[in-house]
Structure formats: structure tokens, C-alpha cells
Chains A and B, each alone.
Chain A
Amino acid sequence: MTVSTTIILRGRKVCGGRAEGEALVTRQTIPGWGGVNPVKGVITETQHDLRGVSFKDKVLVFRGAKGSSGWSAMYHTTRLAGTAPKALIFNEMTTKVALGAIVMRVPSITDLDQDPLDVIETGDWVIVDADQGIVEVVKRAAVRGG
């Protein structure tokens, strides 16, 4: 028996484009300068729940941005270093994350009709169509054929 495990979320385009990949989810805000190594593509902040985890090629699902004004320059650098996430899905709009998203040039969506942190789990397959403002979530169980 197959149970449908695809969920559709609708939101607002922050940066256009379409991408898909495996979700990396954190309920915490994401640090910029001083809390991330953009060349390696990992969070380095001590006590962060993603410390040491790579966000390269992931669909990053997170609360918002925090910390230094160097946020955009750090994530801009991930694009040059080839370590950027494939797409961003986030809840809280700030100047840091807006500027960061556009210089990273990755499809990005916010203001979703359901809390993405409740719906999406790390490992789910996520398709982000930012131009249409649509996020399609294929649950991990389905991805693994479960």
C-alpha cells in the first residue's frame, strides 16, 4: 500500500529560480561571520545544533539569520567557494538573510502557509520553485521507499 507523503507549501519569493535537494533543518537562527566557515560550507558556532554540519548542496530550512553584518559576505563567499546551499526556506525576514539570499543567487522562499520547521525534516527531499512560491516536500520515508 502506498501512502501519499508529498506535502505542498506556498510562500513568497525572496530570490527566484528552481532547485531541489535534501533538506537540512534547524529551528535555530543561522550565524554569519564568526560562526560559519564559508570555504568549507559548515557552521562553526560553538553550541549550534548544526555545528560541523555541511550545508553544501542542501535545501537549508531554518528560522532566520543572526549575528554579524558580515552575514551576506560570508554566504556570498559560499557561492564562490562552491559550498552554497541549493535553496533557502526560512521563517523570519531580516536584512541579513534577504541580502544573503540574493548574493548567494539561490532560490529562496519565506512567509509560508505552514511552518516549514514543523513540516520538513532533515533528509526529506525538497523541491523549491521560488518563482511560483511553491515548496514540494517528499518525506524521507517515501524517499527511502518506506
Chain B
Amino acid sequence: MESVMTLTRDEQEMLDGRKGKATQKAMELLVRYAEALGAERFVDTRNVAGVPGSANPFLQDYYKDKGADGFDAIFSHFDLDSDELIETPQALVPTYHLQGGADPTAWQTIGVKVEVFRNYQEREAFAAAHDVGILKTCTPYLAGNVPARGEHLAWMESSAVIFANSVLGARTNTEGRESTSAAMLTGKIPDWGLHQAEHRYGTHRIDVDVSVDSVMDWGMLGYYVGDVVQERIPVVVGKYSQSEIVRLKHFGAAASSSGGVEMYHIVGVTPEAESLEMAFGPKQPIETFRYGKDEQRRVYDRLNTNASDSSVDFVMLGCPHAAIEQLREAARLLEGKRVSANCALWIFTSRAVKRQAQEEGIVHALGNAGAVLLTDTCSAFAQALPPGTKVAALDSAKQAHYLPAILGIQAWFGSTTDCINAALTGRWSGERP
């Protein structure tokens, strides 16, 4: 394959097939992708997060019908978009598996059939055998993969990408299934967009003119910001507080759902925005938006568009996967109480955070209150609800964006306390801000 890009010697060798067939196919995919972007070169990465080799039932059936449903077949044909079947080599650079599959101990809770679960286990074993770190979470940065400032990554998962860029100052575009699997074999990703300093400056200014404090407030602000800036880079300035990790996790997840935001600046909070001037660099804001009480109420109403029945039969927390602080908070709110017999409470987290919760006695406490702590996935991702669910309650704007669209149920959006109260009473009593 010919390329108009400037390739280093090792990149050219990979493309010429001198580093093996799979590496060649991976490089061909990356060259097609980089040329589509208009990138001129690659950047080296030693931190990849994707879903190599995973397969949903559609893909499994599709390749089974083609008579090539082995792990190598799905990795060759789907991950690398190669028409040739090739044996999958080990990961060349450190690579981690994001969310997917089902909780290894409570898979039956989310309605996964035994044969499907076995398949998930086999795919996990395939990834692990190819040197992929099994994190099984949308929050790798809370589970052991914490990139340094300036580090070049090839990450999937929009909520993790926005966190890595904005909060940690690492550099990654929103990569996809195919580009992360190709990066796993090559340690290369197109040098484009957020890998380059000049593309990390803010484009739009958001003046926050209403108090933004709770996880719910930060989620609503994120949902607003994503809607107005779409895939641009917002610079947020104004009346906010308590901008710690959990709130930024919810803010970013919301902004990358209502729009395609991959990076933001919060003046005085995020590392590339010590000041407004630093956040915009040489650029002038294209447009300024004011986020006040009216805008906040409109976001709240929009996130609650699909809800009308006040009886709630399902509460889901942990989108993105709950941090240990959020599990502690849930346990505190549930202390001495019990989830209503008419309602289920599922909380999703990573395996790593669950282990910490185990150490702290939180897993036991949540179980005693009738809550179910689950790992690896979430309701939207697994398309899993307790049987008969009609009305859900959620404290995540991202989940409220996706769950009604995917599963056709009603969903209330509110604070973590509103959601826990709904789980305890089976009724929604959240209030409009």
C-alpha cells in the first residue's frame, strides 16, 4: 500500500509487512484512517484503551454464518477491517480493555444467558492472553490506568477521553474500536486534533451564572455545554464549586453525550486553563453562552422529557462507573434502611473500585440495604433492566440521554439523594431546580 504521509522507518516497515501480517493490516487501517483525517504523520503511543476482540450477538452470528467465527476471525475482519484472516499477535504496547461483557459473579442478575456469559469469558481470556489488561470499566483512570500530563493515548470511551484530555492533560482523540485495536499492534495513532497543542485551545466561552455545586448540577451543566458547542472546546468560567473528580466525571460524560465534546477547560480548575487567557491561547471565542437559571431549568426539563409516572421501579447509579466516594455516599444514604420491595437499585462500578469497597465493608452494607453492586457494564451498555421495568430513576445525565432511547422506558433524572429516595419509597420526588 502506498501512502502520501510522512512515515518513519519503523512505520514503513510495518506497512511493508516486515513486522508480520497482522501488524501490516493494522498499519494499513491506520494509514487509511490518517489520510481520511488529513493527518500527515503518526504519533507514538504506549497507552491504548479499547475493546479488542469483543463481540456482541450480532457480530457473533454474522461471522458464524460466514463460517469464520473464531476469535482471530473477529479480530481480523472487524477490529482490523481486513478481508484476510490472520492470527492475532500479542499487544505491542500497554493496552487495556474497557467496559463490556457482564459482571463475572452476578451475570445472571442482569439477565445474561449462560452461553452468552461463557462467550464473554472466552473473549476476555482471549484479550488477556494477548497481553491486554482487563479493567472492564469506562473509568480506566479510576482503576489503575492514570495517564500523565502530555502523554499521548489512543483511547475509546467518550467519557474517559474527555476526562483524560481535560482533567489529566493527557492527549487523545476519541478513538474507535478499529483504531485502538490497530494501535495495540503498532503503538501508532494519527497525529491529528487533540494530539497537537494548537488544537487544544478553547473555542467557545460559557459564563456560568447560576450556582453549580452538586453532581447533578455539574451533570446538567455538561449536558448544556455539549448541546451548545457540539464537538468544539468549551471554556467554562463563573459560579462553580466542588469541582472534584466525581463532578468532573459527570460533567464530561454529559458533554460528550449531548454533543461530541472531547476536551474542555474550566478556568482555575483544569491544568491547561489556569486563566481565561491560557485556555483560549491565541484564539478568540467564536461565541459566548450564558448558563443561568433558565438554561439550567431547560436542561432539567429536557433530561426529564421521557418521564411522567411517579412510581419508580428501577434506580441505576454508576454512569460513568461509580468512584469509591460515590459508593460510600450510597452506603451512607442507605444506612439502616431498605430498598422498596417494588423497586430495584443497581449500582455499577469497576472491578478495582469494587475490591476497594469490599475492603471498606461497603459491598456488605449495600447488600444489606437491598442494593445490587455490579461491575463491567451498565444498563445502557448491556441493555439490561430488572424484569418489568417501566420507569427508571438516574443521577447521570449521560445515562438519562441514552437509556430511554435504547430501551424505550421512562427515566427520571435527579440528584443521587433523589434517586436513593426513589429506591427506598418506589416513588419519584425529585424537584425542579
Contacts and interface: CB of A to CB of B under 8 A. Distances in A.
A46 B306 CA distance: 9
Interface in B344-386: 380
Nearest to A29: B230
A131 B401 CA distance: 38
B58 A39 contact: yes
B36 A73 contact: no
B124 interface: no
Interface string B23-58: 000000100110011100000000000000000001
Nearest to B256: A67
A58 B364 CA distance: 54
Contacts of B402: 34-35
A73 B50 CA distance: 12
Contact of B176 (A12, A44, A72, A92): A72
A93 B306 CA distance: 32
Contacts of A95: 37, 173-176, 179, 190, 192-193
B178 A94 contact: no
A85 interface: no
**Which of B29, B33, B192 neighbours the largest number of chain A CB atoms within 10 Å of its CB?**
B33
B341 interface: no
A50 B193 CA distance: 28
A6 to B, nearest CB: 27
A69 B156 contact: yes
Given A29-B231, A29-B259, A93-B37, A102 B32 contact: yes
B171 to A, nearest CB: 13
A4 interface: no
Contacts of A66: 230-231, 259-260
Contact of B58 (A67, A77, A93): A77
Interface string B230-251: 1100000000000000000000
A71 B230 contact: no
Contact of B260 (A38, A64, A72, A98): A64
Interface size grouping (class) on chain A: 35 or more
A66 B158 CA distance: 10
A20 interface: no
A94 B161 CA distance: 14
Interface residues of B, number: 41
B178 A64 contact: no
A64 B257 CA distance: 14
Interface string B155-171: 11110010000000000
Given A65-B260, A67-B158, A70-B176, A99 B33 contact: yes
Given A29-B260, A69-B175, A95-B173, A101 B36 contact: yes
A81 interface: yes
Interface in A61-86: 63-73, 76-77, 80-81
Contacts of B81: 76, 102-103
B129 interface: no
Given A69-B157, A92-B231, A102 B36 contact: yes
Interface string B58-84: 110010000000000000001001000
A8 B259 CA distance: 31
A137 to B, nearest CB: 23
B175 to A, nearest CB: 6
B177 interface: yes
B406 A94 contact: no
Interface string A99-117: 1111100001000000000
Contacts of B156: 69-70
Contacts of B192: 95
B405 interface: yes
B405 A34 contact: yes
B405 A15 contact: no
B111 interface: no
B404 interface: yes
- Closest 6 pairs between A and B when the two form their complex, measured CB to CB: A72-B176, A66-B260, A98-B36, A69-B156, A73-B177, A95-B173
6 contacts: A34-B380, A34-B401, A39-B58, A76-B178, A94-B193, A102-B29
Interface of A: 12, 14-15, 29, 34-35, 38-39, 44-47, 63-73, 76-77, 80-81, 92-96, 98-103, 108
Interface of B: 29, 32-33, 36-38, 58-59, 62, 78, 81, 155-158, 161, 173-179, 190, 192-193, 230-231, 256-257, 259-260, 302, 305-306, 380, 401-402, 404-406
Given A15-B36, A76-B178, 12 more contacts: A29-B231, A29-B260, A34-B405, A46-B305, A65-B260, A67-B257, A69-B155, A73-B176, A73-B178, A94-B231, A95-B175, A96-B176
